[in-house]
Structure 1
Amino acid sequence: MDASSLQQGGNALIALMSDATLSRMAPHSRRAVLSKGEVISRADQPMTAALFIEEGVASIIKPHERHGTAIGIAGSESFCGTPLVLGGERWPYSTVVQSDRITGILIKAHPFRRLVESDPDFRHVLLRSVQVKMVHLAEGLISNANQRFVQRLARWLLMYRDRIASEQLPVTHEYIAIMVGVRRTAVTAALHELEGAGLIRSTRGLATILDADSLRALAAGGYGVTESEHMRLFEAGMRSVRADSGSS
């Protein structure tokens, strides 16, 4: 790969990186296509690679005997491989392809860690992404503790919409139940409530958002904090990052 082909893929983090950083990345990068259900990294096992998602959605899951508990999602705004940035090799969570497929830029763990250590631009961008992930996970805990289920569902539908850039969300009731942490019957009832209010249309395997503004109002404080943090760090904050990198 070359720097130009890296930039054309659609990952928001790669789009922020300097030409010099992209040139360093390119020899270690390859474009990968992963199918729904494939494991990107396994809980408690050393990560073998990092993945910059270009299209699709991955779920971060705490494994359990039956199906696990989802704690977060990632799309083209992000990357998979947080422990490799922070100096560890593993964490107690699995990352799994959730959408029909994911396309992304794959870099094996060893050259990825070398880039983190040696390239300030690369490191600054990824550390900001890790901070957004921390806020994302914390806001999920706050939402679970303080919000009614239908509010949590509205929050999750909006987050999924952001990551696939579409009002049509190809999701099953079973998957939503895992992501939001309730029984499938509760998901069905809540989707019917949202549909009755004209906020969504729900069919088998597909939820279509009809009124995003009303859905955002219903989600209340559960949606918006992570998104604002992302904008703060990657719109204003990255100007200083570029300046710092240029003076290094």
Structure 2
Amino acid sequence: MLRNNLLRRLPDGFLAGLRLEPVTLSRSFQLSSPHQPMDHAYFFESGIASVVVRSPEGQHTEIAIIGRDGMCPASALLDADTDPFSVFMQVQGEAHRVPISELKAALSEDREAQGLFARYAQALAVQHAYTALSNAVHHIDERLARWILMCHDRTDGAEISLTHEFLSIMLAVRRPSVTTALHVLEGKKLIYSERGLVIVRDRAGLEAFARDAYGECEKEYERLIGPIADRDGTAG
């Protein structure tokens, strides 16, 4: 059974015409490099990919995460050969990949699929925008709560495999700030953190703590695409 939210919603005829190749993606696997063309598009069944933007002087921050809700690179949907982002696996997982040339050819002949992917590109742009807003206005504790919730949306169970180093990159802060923020969430019994692992203890409490840092881009995704598959593989 397909768990990727886009593949599940594609017309049957369109899906039958794609050569989907199952692949296993290890942590840190580089999916896309800045300004470099990609040969394949990846539709994630599990795991989490991180979209990172870097300045010419080497400053970097995450602008989006992608799991079974989507695919990469979005540039393939926008008829652009490359983009300036780096995309790599933050949490290992499984995916289906398809040659980008084949995906584009199939899209050129199917307006229903074009519409779905256009809405996904819009949903991803909204996630970019709300990440920028959160980075600008929310405290690190709330940003961390938002980010854990977003990862939890895209994983099975309560355990999320995350290191402090990854967290510092994703949140554009120093590692001591990550440690302090994790201790805040642990002190409120919202999560449990140990080396390389975050365990969600109180999902509702985490959402309440994140306040308006979390939820808006999730609502927009559901409006445009539909609910993400639940952890048992069914649509919510």
Same fold (TM over 0.5): yes
Which AA in structure 2 matches 1:108?
P
1:39 Cα offset (Å) = 0.9
Question: What is the letter of the counterpart of residue 75 of structure 1?
Answer: G
Alignment counterpart, residue 83 of structure 1, candidates 49, 72, 75: 75
What is the CA deviation profile of residues 43-101 of structure 1, one whole-angstrom value per residue up to 9, with x for unaligned ones? 111121111111111011124676842221100010012111111110000110111x2
Larger deviation: 66-75 or 43-52?
66-75
The CA deviation string for residues 117-166 of structure 1, in whole angstroms up to 9 with x for no partner, is 11122212111111110110100011111111101111001001001133
Q: 1:166-203: CA deviations, max 9, x gaps?
A: 32111011111111111000010111111111111111
Give the unaligned 5+ runs of structure 1: 1-7, 237-248
Stretches of structure 2 that go unaligned for 5 or more consecutive residues are 228-236
Q: Which residue of 1 aligns with 2:129?
A: 138
Mapped contact 1:21–1:121 kept (Cα < 8 A): no
What residue is the counterpart of 1:15 in the other structure? 8
TM-score scaled by structure 1? Answer: 0.87
CA distance in 1, matches of 2:61, 2:185: 24
Structure 1 residue 14: Cα displacement: 0.6
Bigger relative contact order, structure 1 or 2 (CA pairs below 8 A, ≥6 apart): 2
The answer on whether the counterparts of 1:115 and 1:123 sit within 8 Å (CA) in structure 2 is no
Q: 2:34 — aligned with what?
A: 43
Post-superposition offset of 1:102: 2.4
Structure 2 CA distance for aligned equivalents of residues 216 and 164 of structure 1: 16
Q: Is the 8 A contact 2:46 2:93 kept in 1?
A: yes
Task: Answer yes or no: is 1:107 the counterpart of 2:117.
Answer: no
How many aligned residue pairs are there?
Answer: 226
For residues 1-248 of structure 1, the aligned pairs below 5 Å read 8-25=1-18, 28-63=19-54, 68-99=60-91, 101-235=92-226
Structure (1 or 2) with the larger CA radius of gyration = 1
How far does residue 34 in structure 1 lie from its aligned partner after superposition? 1.7
Question: TM-score scaled by structure 2?
Answer: 0.91
The root-mean-square deviation of aligned C-alpha atoms, in Å, is 1.6
Q: Higher helix share goes to which structure?
A: 1
